[in-house]
């Protein structure tokens, strides 16, 4: 939450990061995706025609390549085809986000928690949160969170922005103590969930992002907390309409059989 902007809400630099990460990430994709296949688009090809040839839905193929279902593809364009055993949560993450997660220099034991926040505002973006955290909260590293998920007002609905605190593996600035910030990855969903629920796309992106981070950081589902659950100072964040119980339950591994 953007503390200070809204009573009981949370803080908000993906620098021009959304753009910087996109560029850096795309340039390293080939090296980080050894098992991916490359499909070269032919004349009259469509995403909906290519996807089933590889056992994919059109949505999964589009998301995997950072495209929308409506994107026009052209002859000679190169599409990445995920390995057949790719976990479904990775299919739900755009390629730049996957690569940013995979290529970050995460040290073993670096992170212990993944903490979920809301911005406490109806409208928000990485740029506005970064400015607020620098100018009002006087945070040297800007944006307090490692990731931000848009709600369609200020950012695209479900869009995941990767901040420099993740790419540079910096401490968070989203909790009340330095000790917790040192070991806690912060994810902020734009919106005030005291007033209304997060969007379906936000929740889909959140689950995919959290599962990818759990795998990357070698953490169990018990590492995922809401701001309210972990903060030593009382906060309503991420709001009474955030479905904390059902979301956290859905992260638990299913028992065999």
> What's the CATH number where 189 sits?
3.40.80.10
**Cα distance between residue 211 and residue 203, in whole Å:** 12
* Chain mean position to CA 109: 20
Mean pLDDT by 10 residues, the chain (257 residues): 44 39 35 69 94 85 78 91 74 87 95 98 97 96 98 97 98 97 98 97 95 93 97 96 95 62
- Is residue 151 domain-resident? yes
201 within some domain: yes
- Domain check: are 182 and 214 in the same one? yes
* pLDDT at position 25: 35
pLDDT at 24: 33
- How many domains does the structure of the chain reveal? 2
Render 46-98 in DSSP notation, one character per residue.
-HHHHHHHTT--HHHHHHHTT--TTPPP-TT-EEEE--TT--HHHHTS-HHHH
CATH number at residue 65: 3.10.350.10
pLDDT reported for residue 8? 41
The whole domain housing 145 covers 101-250
Q: Is 25 helix (H, G, I), strand (E, B) or coil?
A: helix
Do 106 and 228 belong together in one domain?
A: yes
119 and 54 co-located in one domain? no
Nearest to 12 by CA among 211, 230, 228, 191: 191
In a domain, 95, yes or no: no
- The pair of structure tokens assigned to 101 is 């997660």
pLDDT at 85: 67
In a shared domain, residues 229 and 113? yes
Q: Who's near 56: CB < 8 A, 6+ residues apart?
A: 64, 81, 82, 91
Pair (123, 240) in one structural domain: yes
Shared domain check, 186 and 117: yes
In a domain, 117, yes or no: yes
Q: With a threshold of 0.95, does the pTM exceed it?
A: no
Q: How far is CA 175 from the centre of its chain?
A: 18
Identify whether residues 119 and 231 lie together within a single domain: yes
Coil, strand or helix: which one is 187? strand
Residue 15 tokens read as 């620098």
DSSP 8-state class, residue 124: -
Tell me, yes or no, whether 207 and 133 share the same domain: yes
Which pLDDT value is given to residue 20?
A: 33
Strand ranges for the chain from DSSP E:
37-40, 78-81, 113-118, 147-149, 160-162, 184-189, 224-226
Q: Are residues 117 and 170 in the same domain?
A: yes
* 3-state SS, residue 242: coil
The pLDDT value recorded for residue 118 is 98
pLDDT at position 29 is 38
Q: Alpha-carbon torsion 38, 44, 46, 52, what sign? A: negative
Is residue 70 located within the same domain as residue 122?
no
Residues 108, 73: one domain? no
């Amino acid at each position: 939450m953007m503390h200070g902007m809204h009573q009981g809400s949370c803080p908000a630099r993906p620098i021009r990061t959304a753009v910087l990460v996109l560029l850096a990430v795309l340039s390293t994709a080939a090296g980080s995706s050894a098992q991916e296949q490359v499909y070269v688009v032919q004349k009259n090809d469509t995403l909906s025609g290519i996807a089933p040839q590889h056992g994919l839905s059109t949505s999964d193929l589009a998301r995997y390549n950072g495209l929308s279902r409506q994107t026009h593809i052209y002859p000679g364009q190169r599409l990445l085809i995920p390995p057949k055993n790719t976990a479904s949560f990775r299919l739900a993450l755009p390629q730049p986000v996957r690569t940013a997660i995979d290529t970050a220099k995460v040290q073993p034991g670096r992170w212990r928690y993944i903490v979920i926040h809301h911005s406490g505002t109806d409208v928000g973006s990485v740029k506005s949160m970064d400015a607020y955290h620098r100018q009002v909260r006087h945070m040297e590293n800007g944006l307090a969170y490692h990731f931000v998920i848009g709600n369609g007002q200020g950012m695209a609905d479900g869009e995941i922005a990767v901040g420099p605190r993740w790419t540079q593996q910096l401490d968070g600035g989203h909790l009340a103590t330095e000790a917790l910030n040192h070991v806690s990855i912060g994810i902020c969903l734009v919106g005030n969930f005291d007033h209304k629920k997060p969007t379906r796309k936000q929740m889909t992106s959140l689950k995919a992002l959290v599962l990818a981070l759990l795998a990357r950081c070698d953490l169990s589902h018990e590492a995922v907390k809401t701001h309210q659950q972990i903060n030593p100072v009382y906060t309503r964040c991420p709001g009474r309409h955030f479905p904390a119980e059902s979301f956290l339950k859905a992260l638990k591994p299913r028992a065999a059989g």
